[in-house]
Amino acid sequence: MSYENERATREAAEGELANECEISAELRQKCSALASEAQAAQEKVAPLEKRVGDLAQESEVQKAAAEGYKGEVARLEALLAEKDLALNQTQADLAAALSQVARWH
């Protein structure tokens, strides 16, 4: 191979290498920009994820409280029914007593 051919081959290889280095530098720059964008997006998403978690926890607390209230309402309804029956019995007893008193007079 002649000197001119070797020189042309070397210059072509150097040109390809320079082109690849330029492409590599562009790719590194794009990767860095994407990493920065990803970091910025994560910084925006993190508080939202925390808020979603907080809301889910609040919802669970509210569900538990609602179940407690339902239980208390059921207990109070049963107590009211019991008191209602006792009142009805007392009214019946009072009516019977008044009837007895009326017969004595």
Least confident of 18-27, 43-52, 57-66: 18-27
Domains in the chain, number: 1
The token pair that represents 89 in the structure block: 């019995």
Q: What is the pLDDT, as a whole number, of residue 7?
A: 86
Q: What is the pTM of this model?
A: 0.48
Find the mean pLDDT for residues 54-64. Answer: 95
Supply the pLDDT for residue 27: 94
Give mean pLDDT, residues 48-71: 95
Q: What's the pLDDT tens digit per position in 2-40?
A: 878 888 888 888 888 888 889 999 999 999 999 999 999
Judged against a pLDDT cut of 80, whether residue 105 lies above it is answered with no
| Residue 91 domain-assigned (yes or no) | no
Residue 69 confidence (pLDDT) above 90: yes
- In a domain, residue 62? The reply is yes
Instruction: Report if residue 94 sits inside a domain.
Output: no
Distance CA 77, CA 71 (A): 10
Query: Per the domain annotation, does 103 fall within a domain?
Result: no
Within a domain: residue 89?
A: no
- Whether residue 65 is contained in a domain is answered as yes
Q: What span, in angstroms and rounded, lies between the C-alpha atoms of 18 and 25?
A: 10
Confidence of residue 1 (pLDDT cuts 50, 70, 90): low
When pLDDT is averaged across residues 52-56 and rounded to a whole number, the result is 95
- Asked, for residue 104, whether it belongs to a domain, the answer is no
Helix, strand or coil for residue 5?
helix
In a domain, 83, yes or no: no
Domain ranges, residue 18: 1-77
